[in-house]
Structure 1
Amino acid sequence: MTTHTPSSVPNQPLDAQRLWRQDKDHFIHPFTDFSVFHEKGCELITDSEGVFVSDIHGNRFIDGIAGLWCVNVGHGRSEIGQAMADQATRMAYFSTFNNLSNAPAAALAAKLAELAPAHLNHVFYTCGGSTANDATIRLVHYYFNRLGKPTKKRILSRRNAYHGTTYLSASLTGIESNNWEFDTLDHLVTHVSEANLYRRPEGMSEDAYCDHLVKEFEDTIASIGADNIAAFIAEPIMGAGGVLVAPDGYHARMQAVCRANDILYIADEVVTGFGRLGHFFSSEAVFDTQPDIINVAKGLSSGYAPLGATLISDKLYEVLGTPQGKGGVLSTGFTYSGHPVSCAAALKNIEILERENICANVRQVGPYLEQALKSLSHHATVGDVRGSHFMMCIENVADKATKELLPLEARVGDRVAFEAQKRGLIIRPVGHLNVVSPPLIWTRETIDTAVAILDEALAATTASLQADGYL
């Protein structure tokens, strides 16, 4: 693989204590754990290069989460920064409403249509993954209203799915703890079971489990009535809900049920898109589905600028693109839809992904990462190691035989992440889980180093859990 040239911008000295205090006093972070935040605050990450990030004190870490599932081409790509600067100085922003557009937005829409499955030729821009999923549902409802089917409103999602945190996308999200004491739009969303092979019914084969899930889906549709259901939304592999890989053939079968009931199939590829599974889009290439809509964000710009997009099929566009009547407009969108600087970043990001054949690196190195992480299964707390390519998860348990979980107060995921970070690796704790979702430029050598750190971290975690009486 081609290595990138790091940024030549000199580091500037920062006042660590002052910034830590400003952050703690004024910045409300997403998913803040207030049981520890008021005392500990946050670690400030200030610098990055390639697969590494550094904190304000100069400590260097291997990035094991790609920022947050998104820095796919790695950190410090000066050519992306330059593309953004060039666009910002030429024309940083102008409206894309009505009869106005800009060059990067137009070029990126065409490029996405080229990369996506052949029937997805139309792009609606948003500011990120949550807004992409939110806007999608609004467009889906509008689509069926235009077809004279106004009762088709319900959206089917899955338990433990993650689709965002705007009001509607949070309602699509099926992770129970995400919505504790928040309101949700329960009249619009029904959740069916997630596809969790690790925790499927005892003695049930993978094929039988797939039959079971599809039957539950069919029964749910029959109960609600297909005339009341607009769409089913699913991540090809569940991300924040536990990196859950469905049984073979599951997605294709679920899509077939949708087709038979005039229900749209929405693939949330915010995480799986742009190389994480070795392809720009995984729905068709990996899971043999042809979604009516694919939503993307994160890897679209490798996190260098906020950007999301909804890719819409020709079939839907034929309806959405038909005038409502004289003076009628598609009256939805965002001030920053098709933001030229973000689109310029995405175009350069895609150029790098193609030029360096990064998807091929994921296909070649991903299985090595899978096997290396599975070697950690000897630890007492490691119940399952699962995922695919550069999208992996460790599930920590109290008892491997029964799959019983440790109590929440043991904070096992946090313990593993803390021990790993002490040794120079950042991974993500999600309750009893630890997610590994690195930049797509990790090499075998990087994997060996990261897994060696995780090996030590898991051993230290087991010792601390035993000392505290949890094991």
Structure 2
Amino acid sequence: MIENTKVLCGKDKKHVIHPWADLGNFQKTESTVIAEANGYIVVDTDGNQYIDGIAGMWCVNIGYGRKEMAEVIAEQAMRMPYCNHFGANTNVPAAELAAKLSELTPGDINWVHYTNSGSAAVDSALRFVQYYFNSLGKPEKKQIITRDDAYHGSTYLTASLSGKQVDKSYFDYIKEFIHHLPTPNPSSRPENMSIDEFCDAKVKELEDKILELGADKVACFIAEPILGSGGVIVPPSGYQKRTFEICRKYDVLYISDEVVTGFGRLGHFFASKNVFDIIPDIIITAKGITSGYQPLGAAIISDRLVQQISGKMARPNSFFTNGYTFSGHPVACAAALKNIEIIEREKINDHVKQIGPYFLARLSTLAEIPVVNEVRGHHLMACVECVIDETGPTETNIAFASKIDRYCQDNGLILRPYGELCILSPPLIIDQPGIDRMVEIMKNSILKAQEEIKWPQKKI
């Protein structure tokens, strides 16, 4: 029997430090205690139902309540719940999943290093890059280029890579070898600059930074194809391919962080090649790889890189001393295999290709509301940006977005507020009625918040 909400909240407030909690008032903040879920609906301990507009955290791609996922997890746990994955040890699901991922990734990206999160996968990819250049006798290639508004994780290294200024707080961050380029958000361009000119400028910024640091000093450029939690920022057309070509020109490795865009969110298992026409050196995945049913991540590395530092090419005592207790976890890998099977069998990627344009078209109607500055996105990831005073995460804009979040939740929709932004990334099984309801709730919530602050309105 589930305890009542008040008792559970009391235990939570007394004992749990949540990710991204405001330590100044988190013990006074009311919590929503989610008790069960099915499809794209979650239910709290008071029986209130919500459309999960953010798929948990960009991850519950196949939706909740999948009995066959629970069965395969239980079956593997009974057969063998854990296996040491270090050295030459492996297990059946880990080996089978690696082979399947090799089929799904583009080009020669065939080598899987398992982790238990996206943060750890990015961290491991960067450690591999360091190991790679040190093994090649190029220890001076240490500099890493990333971008403002990027998010790559919350380890010491990956939090330093991330460029979301709202997230920077009282932690320490690595600064010696990490460099941030300005955001590739087209909305940030000067009024008299075209999209094509903006793209030219962003590509030039990368090349200029490589030349400034010295191509012999730059190890890699890491990029989300679409910047997810930084505000669903869709760079201008051609940006991804042109930045990739710059990296190739200067022998800089390209890491594509597909933790969000992978496993169907853009209608493909991986978007790097199919959507953006690049075959990077390393692809990062997590979240949707198991649809959140188990924690799992991976850095998937190209043959070209691995072959240069292994076998006859390996240096003496070339142990790759990076990994985790739960690397290649058999239950998590079994869940990933079943998740992939479901996505393929139910043609979920095709569904995303069909429903994604409808999702963005319906959301775009919100742009008629005066306080909505922009609606942007790509298939089933989107952002509604509201502006009350000046553009950006001002105190007024953040407070307004918080109102929208509260009103949405009161009316049955969970979204993700970030600064002045309202971010949406529903489970990939979302249907037209679910999208219509999401947009209706958002529209009513924005109008209510707008009316509260006496903002001029126009009919929509």
Q: Distance in 2 between matches of 1:332 and 1:403?
A: 42
Asked if the contact 1:396–1:405 (Cα under 8 Å) also holds between the matched residues in 2, the reply is no
Question: Once structures 1 and 2 are overlaid, which stretch shifts more, 371-380 or 38-47?
Answer: 38-47
Q: In the alignment, which of 127, 132, 145 is matched to residue 138 of structure 1? A: 127
CA drift of 1:328 comes to: 3.8
Pick from 389, 393, 396 the counterpart of residue 383 of structure 2.
Answer: 393
Q: Cα RMSD over matched residues?
A: 1.4
Specify whether residues 466 and 410 from structure 1 end up closer, same or farther in structure 2 by C-alpha distance, changes over 3 A only: farther
2: CA distance, partners of 1:32 / 1:116 = 36
- Equivalent residue number for residue 297 of structure 1: 286
- Secondary structure, in 3 states, of the residue corresponding to 1:38? coil
Q: Which moved more, 1:34-43 or 1:426-435?
A: 34-43
Paired residues of 1:48 and 1:76 also in contact (CA < 8 A): yes
Matched, 1:234 2:223: yes
Q: Does 1:367 align with 2:357?
A: yes
* Structure 2 residues not aligned, in runs of 5+: 456-460
- For the 8 Å contact 1:398–1:405, the answer to whether it is kept is no
**Rounded Cα–Cα distance in structure 2 between residues aligned with 1:332 and 1:38:** 37
Match of residue 427, structure 1, among 415, 426, 429: 415
Does the aligned pair in 1 maintain the 2:260–2:287 contact within 8 Å?
A: yes
Aligned position for 1:71? 60
Q: What amino acid sits opposite 1:64 in the alignment? A: G
Conserved 8 A contact 2:122-2:158? yes
For the 8 Å contact 1:23–1:41, the answer to whether it is kept is no
Q: Secondary structure at the match of 2:222?
A: strand
Contact 1:238 1:244 in 2 (8 A): yes
Bigger mean CA offset, 318-327 vs 16-25: 318-327
- How much has 1:41 moved relative to structure 2? 4.0
Shift of 1:57: 0.8
> Residue 34 of structure 1: CA displacement?
3.1
Q: Secondary structure of 2:114's partner?
A: strand
- Call closer, same or farther: CA 1:277–1:183 in 2, change over 3 Å: same
> Unpaired segments of 5 or more residues in structure 1?
1-11
Q: Which amino acid aligns with 1:25?
A: K
% of aligned pairs identical? 47
TM-score by length of 2: 0.96
Counterpart in 2 of 1:221? Answer: 210
Deviations 1:249-301 (A, max 9, x none): 00100011000100000000000000000000000000111100000000000
Q: Distance in 2 between matches of 1:64 and 1:58?
A: 18
Q: Is the 8 A contact 1:412 1:431 kept in 2?
A: no
Alignment of 1:25-40 (within 5 A): 25-40=14-29
Q: 1:410 to 1:71 in 2, by over 3 A?
A: closer
SS in 2 for 1:37: coil
Q: 1:337 aligns with which of 327, 331, 350?
A: 327
What is the CA-CA distance between 1:404 and the residue it aligns to? 6.6
Mean Cα deviation higher: 325-334 or 441-450: 325-334
Contact 2:254 2:281 in 1 (8 A): yes
Compared CA separation, residues 92 and 316, structure 1 to 2 (3 A): same
Alpha carbons 1:408, 1:431 under 8 Å: kept: no
Q: Is the Cα–Cα contact under 8 Å of residues 171 and 185 in structure 1 kept in the other structure?
A: yes
1:466 positional shift: 2.9
Shift of 1:56: 1.1
What does residue 284 of structure 1 align with? 273
Whole-angstrom distance in 2 between the partners of 1:65 and 1:236: 19
**1:152–1:368: structure 2 CA closer, same or farther, 3 Å change rule?**
same
The answer to whether 1:354 aligns with 2:327 is no
Task: Select the residue among 156, 181, 184 that pairs with 1:195.
Answer: 184
State the partner residue of 1:101.
90
Q: Is the 8 A contact 1:65 1:436 kept in 2?
A: yes
Distance 2:256 2:40 in 1: 29
CA shift, 1:142, in A, is 0.4
What are the superposed Cα offsets for residues 135-174 of structure 1, whole Å, 9 maximum, x if unpaired?
Answer: 1100001000111111000110001100000000001101
Task: State the match for 1:413 in structure 2.
Answer: 401
How many residue pairs are counted as aligned between the two chains? 454
1:198-231: CA deviations, max 9, x gaps?
1211111111001111111111111110111100
Q: 1:72, 1:299 within 8 Å by CA — same for their partners in 2?
A: yes
Contact 2:97 2:333 in 1 (8 A): yes
CA distance in 2, matches of 1:38, 1:414: 18
For residues 325 and 437 of structure 1, what CA distance do their matches in structure 2 show?
A: 45
User: Aligned residue for 2:116?
Assistant: 127
Quick check: 1:293–1:313 contact (8 Å CA) kept in 2? yes
Counterpart secondary structure, 2:385: strand
Residue 19 of structure 1 deviates from its aligned partner by 1.2
